[in-house]
């Protein structure tokens, strides 16, 4: 079922591309990691045949998000004993034809994973020349995007200990200048690390004692003055670091212990949520030290999800719980605009295109 969902996601993107020459979607939740697409003319309905451009079988399961750059779609999957057989696959954007398939092997499968998870839970990321894939086994691979040739490989589990995460690692990497940034929070020794894009060697590594497991993917933001911040959520707090050095900048509390949703950065403000029952918060970045009392502009505990990330469109902040209750908040005040029950269960994060939101 998980693998089938991955194929479906790839075909949906292909349909969107045909309709409107879609933008690149180079990593988790798109170019800004916020789930908002500039594409228009996206269909409202799909069936086994309607509005499907192509289908391509995949060799294993994966809950990573397919990524797109120019004429290529990249997906990841895992199969075999302990899901330790790893796959990175490049598909032709227009036809779904497999351009290359790199078979890889995990060096240290995680000690825990649930039935909905996979070693291919983190989404890959690309700059168009290379694609970087991080797996729950703790392995990071850099591949040439045209050929699939392996440029380098790092076994973070081999160097820093096996990743012990109840539902397997899901945090997706991001690119900053000439580095790839990773958040590795788990039962063991948690850490952040910046790897050189070309060689895979460490640029910096920050140990995170006292930080428990989380599945949230980090966010990279740029403030008006030009300052960049590397934002991570987990262990009851939101934290900001200098992406160039790993130096801690600020922290805000009142999050839940376990965090899955990815923080959003919209119009100079951060929107974060951790659940179940944790609050959504809007934070003004750019502070120093503990900014819980000075930079948290509002918080609202209504409708907080455990797994799905939220989305901001215009002046509205939308979220849906795992049990299917959707909530809309005003971005300026945090007050509830509406709430309704969708029905069914949700784990996927929404995507906005045109004047619609897709869950």
Distance CA 178, CA 347 (A): 32
> What would the CATH number be for the domain defined by 53-169?
2.40.128.630
Give the residue from 113, 115, 111, 64 showing the smallest Cα distance to 87: 64
Query: Confidence class of residue 5 from pLDDT cuts 50, 70 and 90?
Result: very low
Query: Confidence class of residue 22 from pLDDT cuts 50, 70 and 90?
Result: low
What's the pLDDT score for residue 58? 94
Beta bridge partners of 195: 180, 202
User: Is the pLDDT reported for residue 265 higher than 60?
Assistant: yes
pLDDT tens readout for residues 44-86:
888 888 999 999 999 998 989 999 999 999 999 999 877 789 9
Residue 154: CB atoms within 10 Å:
22
Distance CA 317, CA 87 (A): 35
What's the pLDDT score for residue 37? 94
Give the residue from 276, 267, 266, 281 showing the smallest Cα distance to 311: 266
Beta bridge partners of 298: 282
Under DSSP, is residue 238 helix (H, G, I), strand (E, B) or coil?
A: strand
Residue 240 per-residue DSSP state: E
Cα-Cα-Cα-Cα dihedral sign, residues 311, 224, 288, 173: positive
Distance CA 73, CA 86 (A): 17
Q: Rg (Cα) of the chain, in Å, rounded?
A: 19
Give the residue from 242, 96, 122 showing the smallest Cα distance to 185: 122
Q: Look up tokens 């199969």; give the residue.
A: 79
User: Is the pLDDT reported for residue 117 higher than 90?
Assistant: no
241, two tokens: 């670091």
Q: Output the pTM of the full model.
A: 0.92
Q: How far is CA 353 from CA 59, 226, 271, 358, in A?
A: 30, 29, 20, 8
Distance CA 181, CA 112 (A): 23
What's the pLDDT score for residue 159? 97
What's the pLDDT score for residue 10? 47
């Amino acid at each position: 079922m998980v693998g089938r969902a991955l194929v479906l996601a790839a075909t949906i993107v292909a349909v969107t591309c045909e309709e409107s020459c879609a933008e690149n979607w180079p990593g988790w939740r798109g170019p800004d990691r916020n789930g908002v697409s500039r594409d228009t003319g996206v269909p409202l309905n799909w069936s086994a045949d309607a509005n499907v451009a192509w289908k391509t079988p995949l060799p294993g399961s994966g809950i990573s998000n397919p990524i797109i750059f120019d004429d290529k779609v990249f997906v990841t999957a895992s199969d075999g004993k302990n899901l330790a057989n790893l796959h990175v696959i490049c598909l032709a954007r227009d036809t779904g034809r497999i351009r290359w398939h790199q078979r890889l092997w995990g060096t240290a499968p995680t000690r825990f994973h649930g039935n909905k998870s996979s070693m291919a839970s983190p989404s890959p990321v690309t700059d168009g020349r290379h694609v970087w894939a991080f797996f729950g086994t703790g392995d990071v691979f850099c591949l040439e995007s045209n050929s699939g040739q392996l440029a380098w490989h790092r076994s973070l589990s081999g160097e820093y200990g096996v990743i012990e995460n109840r539902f397997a690692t899901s945090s997706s990497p991001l690119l900053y200048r000439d580095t790839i940034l990773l958040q590795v929070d788990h039962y063991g020794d948690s850490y952040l690390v910046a790897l050189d894009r070309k060689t895979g060697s460490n640029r910096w590594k920050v140990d995170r004692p006292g930080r428990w497991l989380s599945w949230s993917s980090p966010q990279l933001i740029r403030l008006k003055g030009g300052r960049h911040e590397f934002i991570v959520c987990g262990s009851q707090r939101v934290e900001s670091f200098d992406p160039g050095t790993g130096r801690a900048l600020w922290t805000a509390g009142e999050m839940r212990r376990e965090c899955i949703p990815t923080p959003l950065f919209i119009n100079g403000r951060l929107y974060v949520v951790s659940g179940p029952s944790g609050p959504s918060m809007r934070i003004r970045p750019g502070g120093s030290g503990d900014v819980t009392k000075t930079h948290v502009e509002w918080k609202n505990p209504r409708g907080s999800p455990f797994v799905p990330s939220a989305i901001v469109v215009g002046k509205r902040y939308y979220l849906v719980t795992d049990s299917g209750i959707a909530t809309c908040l005003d971005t300026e005040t945090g007050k509830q605009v509406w709430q309704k029950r969708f029905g069914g269960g949700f784990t996927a994060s929404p995507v906005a295109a045109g004047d619609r939101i897709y869950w």
